Chains A and B, each alone.
Chain A
């Protein structure tokens, strides 16, 4: 019964967007209750749909023709339904929290309208049953993120960050679009060669049709298509080398950061790879031709990003930037899971990756909201100016510690008790090890395990610096109001206990692609027997990181001042984020793009088109011609009548000449 109203999952927030935009000013709290009610509705429908289809392993498919053999439609399979529940739920909590967080902002209606549209766009990405609709919603997500990152547009840094986010993700989007075009070309070729039929129930860019057509697509082309898709995912999910926009995106309100980083935008990239996973899995390795299979590239990019971002997370002093790099790093894990586990256990990799995605959504949203609570209280983003907050902010401190435990993946192996991150991240690291055993390639595993250690260090560094020790600033800080702390507590419960759902979750998601295409999943991996040390290692590095941070930042057993100085080249390199913003912005951005492209473009535009062609030649000539012809319009009605008669005469003459007349 709920599944019949699946379209409302997207439509409710869209309606809330329109209403809030126009009526928000007249409603209490800038109309915040409209999006909250709408997203609560989306969540209830998602949950109801899940409860309906879970017992029967059903899926929901609705579609209608759009144009040129393409369609608009809804597909709710296990993959989509878990994402729907997570996105609507986390977004709901963030919206509730924002009522408190944004209470002093005069532009509340705009804020709530935009976040509502943002949520709607993301839900629409998830629900899409075809790649074109997916792309359109994906672009809408990008547009909304641009609006929200630049929410405080009077701040130059916010405007610049919004622009950067928009442009960098655009690089990925162009690749994604190119992938769709290439796919479309291939699909139409397959269809015209009549090897394959597209009926009224089967549209050309529908995921179902695409997956059925996989064996018919030229393997090299398939590799290109998947890599182009992955290019889109790199942009959206902030993977190396398009990760630069994500930390800068912190310029928006913290609630927006939480929405972008936990629930919506960045997970879209991972979701894209998961959604089209059968295509990735089908790409052949043609190493002889110098083309590895796409999953390998996904694994390496993901693994490298996980490590690379974690190193930068170590030295950042802005609380939100630490979390931003943490997000980049964790997204790297999800990609790594798709890549390595994909090679080991086939489509089950989707379950492993999605489980981390969802548990990450809980604890990362929690971390951001805690950070927001801290910033709200002390009025600065710099962790060097915080300290000793635990005494004043018990709830925030405790919930943030829980989130940090979850991020570090701490738990007790063998008896399976632990935080959400313990189950989800350790599974990824184990699969990376199995991949190493299988392929004799332990590099992804090394990435993963080193990144796990760094993760634990940076997150506890953050916590110890903010909440313990002596206060380092004069400011009077206080615990946040209930409307802000209650979402924290709810999220903390999920960060603690969500992990126990892991077995059911994996089972459910494993059926995903069978349900859609009606075929059994190709690969059934057998579990390797792993030595206890491998199982233990992720937890050991997690605890080790906690202890290191405790020793350095709480007990001050080590004097960090020598290490942390701009004299130290390594520290300098990290603090300057590998000079990537400099390289990206100054060299590529300014020197290459601006100087070469923009200058020449400007020259062409101003000197040739504007100066010469439009204004002087075309513009003036046409304007004069227009003036001349206008004089024919004398305004004297007798002339008008004469012209009419003259016209008739001319027509008769033309026709008589043509026919000679009879």
Chain B
């Protein structure tokens, strides 16, 4: 058996470990090079994943699989990590602990990629924990900043609770079926239909949902997210919102098939309620935020609500829509957080002791002070609000369309209502995005024009190109998402 298809994970692990070793050997001054090394590793892995987008394979007694679903999510994780690493070259310049930072980013990426490939509950849990442990540390990486420490601590406590719940759910599944391998579990329920209506199944499923919902930041498992996104270094928020959040979705896609195909419990209504509450809650609370990172955190919760609409109907098209929106959201939200990091850099260069770097007041006149950043934020905000041509529009369009089709097919009025609420929510979100856009372009600047550091600009432009590119030429991405969705066999 050849492990060629796992090359991206292997490469990243090696690069991550080499970075730690390097950190011990080289001087603090030359540590600024490490970021480039990490980025190079990510580019190689990314290239490899792009080359094997349609590959299939299974490894380690079927614990890990490579299929279009795993590959598209790996693509998301790698792109986000790459953006974050590039932006971090500026953000953590001259920090003497850079080596640990980059190593942790790479290892958390490996964890996310393992989850994307996981075909076994244990592998899934291991990947989940690898990614979570690394990000706990990353969230608290600015040791001298109390907000960062608080963010990390809250994230860690709620994260541990969720992990425990998830593990408990998995153990219940194992108890019922005697296996942790997902296809085997499905097969078991098919051959023993008696076991498929056990109330233990429901509890197991809910515990799993709670575990994944924590990463996805679904209401009511979302409470940690605004505090953590706000307190963490902006580049880490970018990784959390754009990358590790999607880990929850891919895990849910892989496991919830169980609920639908095997256990046949009707989770449609439950997920519809969760999704609607999540998106409405996120959008409404986002309106009154003055901290842009908090606003983005709530908007991220709202987006999680949209994406989880895919679980409501679980057709091939709706899953494809969910995957597309996840991809789009990774680009838009990742880019937006990095842009906020750049604004923080700008404020600090005005005044070294500034507080509340992401206050909306600091965005006044950004169009004049940092034109590339302001324009990119404009693109991200419009895309997040779902205005074409953008990745946000394509994702929402496919998703809402798939639910409308299903609503018509089932002659279900409440499903239609869900779609209408989702569309109204999209319209509502424009309100708070437009407020920031007004600050950026209408209000007068409160400082000089700055030179935007190249690494930030490269990372942001990557996201802008992706966001608009998918909007203009969506066909191959829709195809990719449809392929990914077909893996689930729904």
> Which A residues fall within an 8 A CB radius of B?
65-67, 619, 622-623, 625-627, 629-630, 633, 635, 637, 639-641, 643-644, 646-648, 650-652, 654-656, 658-659, 661-662
Contact = CB atoms under 8 A, between A and B. Distances in A.
B206 A652 contact: yes
B389 to A, nearest CB: 10
Interface stretch (B87-95, B113-121, B151-159, B235-243): B151-159
A72 to B, nearest CB: 9
Contacts of A639: 223
Interface residues of B, number: 44
B220 A629 contact: no
Contacts of A650: 220
B414 interface: no
B249 interface: no
Given A651-B209, A655-B202, A659-B199, 9 more contacts: A65-B475, A619-B431, A637-B153, A640-B157, A644-B221, A644-B223, A647-B219, A648-B165, A659-B266
The 5 closest A-B CB pairs, nearest first, are: A647-B220, A626-B288, A640-B223, A626-B287, A637-B154
B261 interface: no
Interface of B: 153-154, 157-158, 161-162, 165, 197-199, 202-203, 206-207, 209-210, 213-214, 219-221, 223-224, 226-227, 265-267, 269-270, 273-274, 281, 284-289, 428, 431, 473-475
A626 B269 CA distance: 26
A658 B197 CA distance: 13
A647 B207 CA distance: 11
B284 A662 contact: no
Contacts of A644: 158, 161-162, 165, 210, 214, 220-221, 223
Contacts of B221: 644, 647
Contact of B154 (A623, A640, A654): A640
10 contacts: A67-B474, A633-B227, A637-B153, A637-B154, A637-B158, A643-B220, A647-B210, A655-B206, A655-B267, A662-B198
A641 B161 contact: yes
A630 B288 contact: yes
B288 A646 contact: no
A644 B473 CA distance: 40
A643 B219 CA distance: 9
Contact of B202 (A623, A647, A656): A656
Contacts of B206: 648, 651-652, 655
B245 to A, nearest CB: 17
A327 to B, nearest CB: 35
A217 B473 CA distance: 30
A643 B162 CA distance: 12
B286 to A, nearest CB: 8
B199 A661 contact: yes
A627 B287 CA distance: 9
A623 B224 CA distance: 22
A633 to B, nearest CB: 6
A160 to B, nearest CB: 23
A646 B210 CA distance: 11
Quick one: which of B206, B221, B227, B265 has the most chain A CB within 10 A? Answer: B206
Nearest to B221: A644
A627 B269 CA distance: 29
A627 B290 CA distance: 11
Contacts of B274: 651
A583 to B, nearest CB: 36
A597 B223 CA distance: 48
Given A637-B158, A644-B210, A654 B273 contact: yes
